[in-house]
Structure formats: C-alpha cells, structure tokens
Amino acid sequence: MAKQKNKTASKRWNWAGQREKTAFLALQDGTILRGYSAGAMVDSVGEVVFNTGMSGYQEILSDPSYSGQFVTMTYPEIGNSGINPEDMEAGRLYDSGFIIHNLNEPSNWRSRESLTESLKRHGIPAIAGVDTRALTIKLREQGTMKGFLSVTGKVDTAEGIRKAREWGGLDGQDYASKVTCKKAHRWDPDGSLTNSWGMQEGLPLDLKVVAYDFGIKWNILRRLRQSGMDVTLVPATTTAKAVLAMKPDGVFLSNGPADPMGVKYAIDAARQLLGKVPIMGICLGHQILGLATGAKTYRLKFGHHGCNHPVKDLKTGKVEITSQNHNFAVDTDTIDRAKVEVTHMNLNDNTVEGLRHRKEPMFCVQYHPEAAPGPHDPQYLFKRFRDLIVNGKD
C-alpha cells in the first residue's frame, strides 16, 4: 500500500518538491514555457507583460487596467501574504492570467484566503514554476507578446502557439467599456469602503467631482474623497453634455486598460470638456487628454508596469518614485507646445509622464498617484487637483 501511495504521489510531485509541469505558456514567436496550474482551470489568451513590483500582487490582480493582460511577476516569491478584502482595488480580479515563479502558501495575519483560492473563485488562470527572469529578459529584448495559457490539458503546444498568434491583441481595442460601471452612481455614500480600509476621514466633502470610470481603482476614489471630493462615477461612454448637466466642480479621467485610440468616444468627450470645467487625468486618462489636445500616442516596446519608476517633475526638479501600468505613451514630438506644457518625464526612457494645459484648467500624469501598490511620493497631485478647482490654478 505504501508503494502505491508513493507511486501516486510521484505523479503530482517531482524529486525537488515541485509539481509536475503539465501547464504551459505559448508565445506568438513559438516559445513554450512549462509550469503547473496555480489558479482556475480555464485556458486563456492575453498580452504578456512583466511587473517589477516586489509586492502588491493582490492590487495588481484587482486593477481593471490589467484587463486583457497576462502579468508576469519578476519577484520570485508570490503568495506569501495571501488575499484579503481590504486590499482589493475593485470588486473582482481582472487579469486575463498570472505568471509566477514560486507559489507560496499565505503566512500573514491579514490573509483570508490563499492566492490560488482567490484565482479559482474569480476564474483567473495562473501558471507557476516558470523561469520568470528568462521570460522578463525575453520581453525586454523582443517586446510585449501575445500569449496562450494552457492549464486544462485540452490543447497541445502547436495549437497553443496558433491561438496566441490568432488572438486580436489590445491594439485599437476598447477594453474600457468592458470594465466600466454600468450606470452613474455616487461612490461610497456612507463611507464604508473608505473607513474599512483604515484611511483618515480627510477634508469635508465640499466639492462635487465626476469621475469617468475607464477602469478606476478604489484607492484613487479614496484619495479623491480624502481631498474633500464627493465623487460620482459615470460609465466610460458618458457624453460631455451629460457630465456638464451634473454641474460638477471638477472632472476626473481615470486609469484603464488597452489602447487609448480604442476609446474615441472618450477623446471626443474630453475635447468638449476642456475649458468648461477643471480636469485631472491619470494613466489612460492622461493619454486621452493628450489625444484631445492634438497629440498622438504610440505603443511602448514592453510598457511600464511596476511601482519603482523614477519620474522627474520638470518644474521643481524633484524626482518621484511612481507606480505605473501602461503599454502606450503620448508622443512628445506631436505635442502642441503652444497649448500644452510637458510637466513630468520618465528618467528611465525619457517618455512623457505629465502634461498641463497652458490656458485651460487641466493637468494629467501617466502614472498612478494613489499608491496601491506603490510609494506615496505623488499624492500631492490630489491636492493640486483641489487647488485647481478651488483657486483656478494648480
């Protein structure tokens, strides 16, 4: 009987204590990386990116702007802190897939379920046991790739490569309408989501702000609330006319997934709102405002994903360490410098990280100032938005 048990166990574990690598990731260039399933038993297609954060995997998984992507965590040990309701950035997980090196069981007093349990509950496939450093180097050298994640055993590697190549990708695609709220509503009217997170109450809610939900994160909303802003969320496709009818003190354009050129309705709305109400934008909202002011956007080779990106404020000379997640950027050569000023630059690759309109009350940044996950360096931007609304200048 003991021999039979050992034989059965050997089907699940190899001599090094690792599970047998029956799952695989197929890349569009024909590369196959093998591992074992660490999430839901569903196959999936997605855009393979890497995230350089050492922590914050729960916030990354629940960030709607990662929709359509397979996130590769460069830090090798994932799962230690488990999953808890307080650190969610939305009501569910949004990544199309998750790629990690070593899956750990949680050992943290705040954990309510393991990473694997959460992935299964939300229907997100994951692969562990992958050489994530080799994959990261490949993506850095060759660029972001389309991929197919097989965990069910129903697809062979040749078909997996074909499925990766045939997938439409994210270029030109409107993913914001897939992750946005269904209807306009006041966010957290009783303060339960804010208070449960442990944030200080902040300023009295004396400003009315309408926030476009292109894939907004809860901690962005918490920061706006802490800055005295009573926020009404509206769906991504809401017209400028409908927003102005709400008579807001300011308008916020949120982060979101995929290609800014895929949300032409949002670009049109931003163009119509300029000059009529103070505006702040971040991430996808930054790109939308860049396009609305006449600039163009382009795809980065492997994007910016992580919470350790250095950005320089060109006005003060200070350097901020920032959290970022985007595959597209505003083309600096297409910006109308007579209308728009570049305020921030990325110190890794000199891409545009911030814009400010010279005549109208509008500014935007490419990064995430809400620190979830990430450093607190850029939180002054929420005060700047308040000052822009109250005083007419930032």
Residue 1 lies in a domain: no
Last residue of a domain, one of 166, 189, 224: 166
User: What CATH number did the domain enclosing 61 receive?
Assistant: 3.50.30.20
In tens, the pLDDT along 339-380 reads: 999 999 999 999 999 999 999 999 999 999 998 888 888 889
Residue 7 has pLDDT above 60, yes or no: no
Q: Which of 27, 23, 57, 259 is nearest to 143 (CA)?
A: 27
Average pLDDT over residues 49-53: 96
Q: What percent of the chain has pLDDT over 70?
A: 93
Average pLDDT over residues 286-303: 98
Average pLDDT over residues 217-231: 94
Same domain? For 153 and 233 the reply is: no
In tens, the pLDDT along 19-49 reads: 778 999 999 999 999 999 999 999 999 999 9
Mean pLDDT score of the chain: 93
Confidence at 12, pLDDT banded by 50, 70, 90: very low
Confidence at 4, pLDDT banded by 50, 70, 90: very low
Catalytic residue among 47, 320, 353, 370: 370
Catalytic-residue membership of 86:
no
Catalytic residue among 101, 305, 357, 368: 368
Average pLDDT over residues 251-275: 98
Same domain? For 109 and 157 the reply is: yes
* pLDDT, greater one: 229 or 55: 229
Same domain? For 326 and 258 the reply is: yes
- The secondary structure of 235-256 as a DSSP string is ETT--HHHHHHT--SEEEE---
Residue 120 lies in a domain: yes
Residue 384 lies in a domain: yes
pLDDT of residue 347: 98
Residue 7 lies in a domain: no
Record the tokens describing residue 365, joined without a space. Answer: 């940044």
Query: Where in the sequence is the domain holding 126, given as residue range(s)?
Result: 13-166
Average pLDDT over residues 115-142: 97
pLDDT of residue 371: 84
Catalytic-residue membership of 307:
no
- The secondary structure of 289-340 as a DSSP string is HHHHTT--EEEEEEEEEEEEEEEEETTT--EEEEEEEEEEEE-GGG--TTTE
Strand stretches in the chain, DSSP E: 23-27, 32-37, 44-51, 69-73, 77-78, 97-99, 102-103, 126-128, 145-150, 185-186, 207-213, 229-235, 250-253, 279-282, 297-313, 319-330, 340-346, 352-357, 362-365
pLDDT of residue 202: 78
First to last CA, the chain: 75
Same domain? For 29 and 155 the reply is: yes
Same domain? For 305 and 214 the reply is: yes
User: What CATH number did the domain enclosing 349 receive?
Assistant: 3.40.50.880
The sign one gets for the Cα dihedral 114, 305, 292, 168 is negative
Last residue of a domain, one of 140, 166, 192: 166
Per-residue DSSP letter, 393: -
Average pLDDT over residues 109-133: 97
Residue 3 lies in a domain: no
pLDDT of residue 21: 80
pLDDT of residue 374: 87
In tens, the pLDDT along 157-216 reads: 999 999 999 999 999 999 999 999 999 999 988 888 887 666 666 789 999 999 999 999
Residue 4 lies in a domain: no
Record the tokens describing residue 143, joined without a space. Answer: 């660029």
| Reported pTM | 0.93
pLDDT of residue 242: 98
Q: How far apart are CA 283 and CA 75, in angstroms?
A: 24
Average pLDDT over residues 285-291: 98
Same domain? For 349 and 370 the reply is: yes
Catalytic residue among 59, 89, 283, 326: 283
Same domain? For 340 and 366 the reply is: yes
pLDDT of residue 357: 98
Q: How far apart are CA 67 and CA 347, in angstroms?
A: 27
Residue 171 lies in a domain: no
Residue 101 lies in a domain: yes
Confidence at 13, pLDDT banded by 50, 70, 90: very low
Same domain? For 212 and 343 the reply is: yes
CB atoms within 10 A of CB 191: 13
Same domain? For 82 and 187 the reply is: no
Same domain? For 222 and 119 the reply is: no
Catalytic-residue membership of 364:
no
pLDDT of residue 55: 87
Q: How far apart are CA 295 and CA 338, in angstroms?
A: 12
User: How many domains does one find in the chain?
Assistant: 2
pLDDT of residue 309: 95
Last residue of a domain, one of 166, 198, 222: 166
Same domain? For 118 and 251 the reply is: no
Same domain? For 153 and 253 the reply is: no
- Integer CA distances (angstroms), 149 to 6, 29, 152, 306, in order: 30, 14, 9, 22
pLDDT of residue 191: 82
Residues in the chain: 394
